[in-house]
């Protein structure tokens, strides 16, 4: 299975969710800010990179995990990917694709911090703001990941 | 190989391009009319997205598909490119070629509108470029 964590920019909430899923961020506690800031892809993808599938690693079952930013077209992109993935063969002959939508978890601190860092280039100001925003929504991110792990079916294309 | 003509918004540019790819000898007026007839099956142009529709075969043996949705072409291209590699493992010839970007559809032109000729040339150039890409991909 191919697992895709999707959000607006592909560099904050989806990166955090993928890191939780892959074990790079803890599940038994809220991480420290430094741990969040050290995540792969965290606050590093700019607008030119939105849309690219960034490889995050393999889970315990060997499934490949990706991070995707779809800007404000997350819903239409998911709708398109359903039939387009079928062009690569029937589901019995190719890996299944699961897309976990992290966009609903986008909070104002994450949105604002992301804008300050990615759009304005003021990373020293924006990045910690995003990081603290991720910490505030961390329980919800964890719940999203665990909900996917319990039942991946609703996320399959 | 599958060739996907995708236009963000209205389906008409994708239809025109697929029409020229499938029937390269069709005069522009006939191609325009046939594309409009096919478009009418979907209601007023741009009214609803067409997520995927098979257009038919090309003279070169490719299967042509159409799609139209609000997603920008560049965004879809990047995602589809990565997804294709993920699904195929990067092995062999990619089965799907996303042609484009298509020239933006500027409005409801009549067949005699002055801008139509220029737009048609843009479509033809894109189709020719797509054929060259197919040829390059197919070379060992």
For an interface test with B, which of A84, A93, A98, A99 has the most B Cβ atoms less than 10 Å from its Cβ?
Answer: A84
Q: How far apart are CA B85 and CA B92, in angstroms?
A: 10
**What average pLDDT score do residues B67-85 get?**
91
Tens digits of per-residue pLDDT, B12-55? 899 999 999 999 999 988 998 888 888 877 665 555 677 788 99
Tokens of B47: 């009214």
Tens digits of per-residue pLDDT, B43-71? 655 556 777 889 999 999 999 999 988 89
Mode of pairing for the β-strands spanning B2-8 and B96-99 = parallel
Partners of A49 on chain B (C-beta within 8 Å) are 78
Higher-confidence residue of A93 and B57: namely B57
Highest averaged pLDDT of the listed ranges A11-15, B41-45, B88-92, B135-139: A11-15
Partners of A52 on chain B (C-beta within 8 Å) are 78-79, 82
Partners of A53 on chain B (C-beta within 8 Å) are 78-79, 82-83, 86
Are the beta carbons of B80 and A52 separated by less than 8 Å? no
Q: How far apart are CA A77 and CA B70, in angstroms?
A: 9
CB A70 within 8 A of CB A77: yes
Q: State the complex-level ipTM.
A: 0.89
Task: Reduce the DSSP state of residue A91 to 3 states and report it.
Answer: coil
pTM over 0.80: yes
Q: How far apart are CA B52 and CA B48, in angstroms?
A: 12
pLDDT at A89: 81
Going by C-alpha positions, the residue among A65, A29, A43, A66 that lies closest to residue A116 is A43
Tens digits of per-residue pLDDT, B95-128? 889 998 888 776 665 556 677 888 889 999 999 9
CB A6 within 8 A of CB A99: yes
For an interface test with B, which of A54, A88, A95 has the most B Cβ atoms less than 10 Å from its Cβ?
Answer: A88
> Does the pLDDT of residue A64 top 80, yes or no?
yes
Higher-confidence residue of A146 and A87: namely A146
Residues 138 to 157 of A: which have CB under 8 A from any B CB? Answer: none
- Whether the CB of A78 is below 8 Å from some CB of chain B: the reply is no
The CA distance from B113 to the nearest CA of chain A, in Å, is 33
Beta strands in A9-63 (DSSP E): 53-58
Are the beta carbons of A73 and B4 separated by less than 8 Å? no
Going by C-alpha positions, the residue among A123, A124, A99 that lies closest to residue A14 is A99
CA distances from A8 to A101, A129, B34, B93, B115 (A): 9, 17, 39, 31, 37
Q: Is residue B87 very low, low, confident or very high in pLDDT (cuts 50, 70, 90)? A: confident
């Amino acid at each position: 299975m191919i697992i895709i964590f999707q959000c607006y920019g592909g560099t904050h909430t989806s990166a955090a969710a993928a890191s939780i899923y892959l074990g790079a961020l803890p599940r038994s506690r809220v991480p420290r800010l430094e741990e969040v800031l050290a995540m792969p892809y965290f606050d590093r993808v700019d607008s030119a990179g939105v849309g690219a599938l960034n490889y995050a690693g393999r889970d315990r079952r060997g499934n490949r995990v990706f991070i995707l930013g779809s800007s404000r077209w997350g819903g239409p992109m998911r709708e398109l990917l359903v039939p387009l993935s079928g062009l690569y063969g029937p589901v019995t002959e190719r890996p299944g694709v699961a897309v976990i939508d992290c966009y609903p978890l986008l909070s104002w601190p994450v949105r604002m911090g992301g804008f300050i860092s990615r759009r304005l280039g003021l990373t020293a100001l924006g990045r910690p703001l995003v990081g603290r925003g991720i910490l505030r929504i961390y329980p919800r991110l964890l719940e999203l990941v665990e909900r996917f792990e319990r039942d991946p079916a609703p996320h399959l294309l | 190989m599958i060739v996907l003509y995708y236009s963000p918004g209205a389906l008409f540019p994708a239809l025109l391009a697929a029409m020229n790819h499938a029937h390269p000898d069709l005069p522009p007026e006939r191609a325009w009319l046939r594309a409009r007839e096919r478009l009418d099956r979907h209601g007023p142009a741009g009214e609803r997205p067409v997520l995927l529709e098979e257009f038919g075969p090309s003279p070169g043996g490719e299967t042509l598909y159409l799609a139209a949705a609000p997603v920008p072409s560049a965004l879809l291209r990047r995602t589809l490119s990565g997804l294709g590699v993920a699904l195929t493992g990067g092995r062999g010839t990619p089965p799907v070629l996303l042609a484009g970007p298509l020239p933006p559809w500027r409005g409801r032109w009549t067949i005699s509108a002055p801008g139509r000729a220029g737009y048609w040339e843009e479509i033809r150039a894109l189709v020719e470029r797509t054929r060259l890409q197919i040829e390059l991909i197919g070379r060992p």
